[in-house]
Chain A
Amino acid sequence: MTHYDGWFMLAAILAAFAANEVWRVVGVALSARLHEDSAVFSWVKMVATALVAGLVAKLVLNPTGGLALAPLWLRLGSVAFGVAAYALGRRSLALGVAAAAATLMVGTAVIAPGAPP
């Protein structure tokens, strides 16, 4: 486990805030003139969607930290259960998230009940 210097951490968060906020500000500037249904915006949205989906895959396949205590098949299985519950529950986020979390919890309890975190 790494421990970050306080000033480094503060600078990183402020930089992330600025890097994130810039698109909200640009959005305000453009919202008066640009249309959500233009081709450029559907492309931008798909790029962003693919990026976040890629992040999800990375988090599930190569987790850092405690999630790695669950084996790969359990992590994939929990996502599959979550997606299935979401689809069967008429696209209910709560149901999907709860099903995935319950799968992880029960699975980890069965496999490694006493493992230190």
Chain B
Amino acid sequence: MGQPELAGDERPPRVWALRGARDSLSTPGFVLFGSFVGFGAMTHDFGWPLWAAALSTALVWAAPAQLVLAGSLASGAGIVAAALAVTVSAVRLLPMVIAFLPVLRTPRTRLTARLLAAHYVAVTAWFEGQRRTQMMPRSARMPYFLGLANGLVAGSTIATAVGHAAAGALPTPLSVALLGLTPIYFLLSLERGAGSVGERLAILIGLFMAPVVGVLTPSLDLLLTGVVGGTAAFVIERALRRRRETP
């Protein structure tokens, strides 16, 4: 930040990876860690053991998927039904990976390196990775991103364990506030990441639709909200665009 980056091409990848890891300790990183403290506290309330909470962060590395898993299991769903709900929530990773990999890779990047980079794609890592690698030499981007993402995973895993361990011992107002971090963090990240009118519409429709659908079909509510609400947002955006284009 603010330093001359011109000599970067000659610097070894390790230097970039370390710089990325250091940059994980930034404001977006701390917001993420705070929300994982909240998630850890939440899994405690759901009856998860501590190792399971920490493992889910280290391995799954996608807070929405982890929440969907916890919510599904808590409402009595089996593993297959829970995995199905998780996979629906994870579809959003697909366009993120597709949009980000061309930024990271060089002609020499191997498939294993691309798979590894894709594994770390999640809202904060993706957003910060894109923002910070834009100005870097191409050869620096992959090591920088892997350093950044590993720093975020390590911090988040520790935060999850801390949240789980502290859940029972915290004063009530603090634990309530920690548990409240996740929904507001998701909501604001969605807005922050929304690139179109349609995505903002999808946020609004999803917010208002889920409680209504939840009354009708409690088990399939998120899936239905996503497909019906997302399609509605898509159709409305197309209609608006067509109207603007035809005078």
Separation in Å of the B141 CB from the closest CB of chain A? 15
Which residue of chain A lies nearest to B65 when distances are taken between CB atoms in the complex?
A20
- Return chain B residues, CB-CB under 8 Å to A42: 196, 198, 234, 237
Considering only residues 80-120 of chain B, those with a C-beta below 8 Å from chain A are 80, 82-84, 86-99, 101-102, 111, 114-115, 118-119
CB 8 Å contact bits of A14-32 with B (1 = contact, 0 = none): 1111111111111110110
**Chain B interface SS verdict (over half):** helix
Which residue of chain A lies nearest to B89 when distances are taken between CB atoms in the complex?
A51
Given A49-B230, A50-B203, A67-B180, is A31 in contact with B174 using a C-beta cutoff of 8 Å? no
Given A13-B69, A27-B93, A50-B206, is A117 in contact with B101 using a C-beta cutoff of 8 Å? no
Return the contact of A51 from the options B88, B189, B196, B201 (Cβ within 8 A): B88
Given A30-B94, A55-B89, A113-B173, is A50 in contact with B47 using a C-beta cutoff of 8 Å? no
Cβ contact within 8 Å between B234 and A43: yes
Given A61-B211, A66-B167, A117-B175, is A54 in contact with B180 using a C-beta cutoff of 8 Å? no
- Return chain A residues, CB-CB under 8 Å to B183: 56, 59-60, 79
- Return chain B residues, CB-CB under 8 Å to A101: 34, 177-178, 180-181, 184
Cβ contact within 8 Å between A64 and B207: no
- Return chain A residues, CB-CB under 8 Å to B148: none
CB 8 Å contact bits of A58-73 with B (1 = contact, 0 = none): 1111111111011000
- Return chain A residues, CB-CB under 8 Å to B180: 67, 70, 75, 78, 100-101, 104
Separation in Å of the A68 CB from the closest CB of chain B? 9
26 intermolecular pairs with C-beta atoms under 8 Å apart: A9-B48, A12-B79, A20-B86, A22-B87, A23-B87, A25-B118, A27-B93, A30-B94, A45-B92, A48-B230, A50-B202, A50-B205, A50-B209, A53-B210, A53-B229, A58-B211, A65-B44, A65-B45, A66-B45, A66-B175, A96-B188, A100-B184, A101-B180, A106-B173, A109-B173, A117-B172
Top 8 closest pairs, chain A to chain B, by CB = A27-B97, A65-B45, A53-B206, A48-B92, A51-B226, A47-B230, A54-B210, A50-B229
13 extra interface residue pairs, beta carbon distance < 8 Å, beyond A23-B91, A52-B64 = A27-B94, A48-B91, A49-B202, A50-B206, A51-B206, A53-B203, A57-B206, A59-B183, A93-B188, A94-B28, A97-B34, A104-B180, A114-B172
Give residues in B with beta carbon < 8 Å to A. Answer: 27-28, 30-31, 34-35, 41-42, 44-49, 52, 55-56, 59-60, 62, 64-69, 71, 73-74, 79-80, 82-84, 86-99, 101-102, 111, 114-115, 118-119, 121, 167-168, 170, 172-192, 194, 196, 198-199, 201-211, 213-214, 221-223, 225-231, 233-234, 237
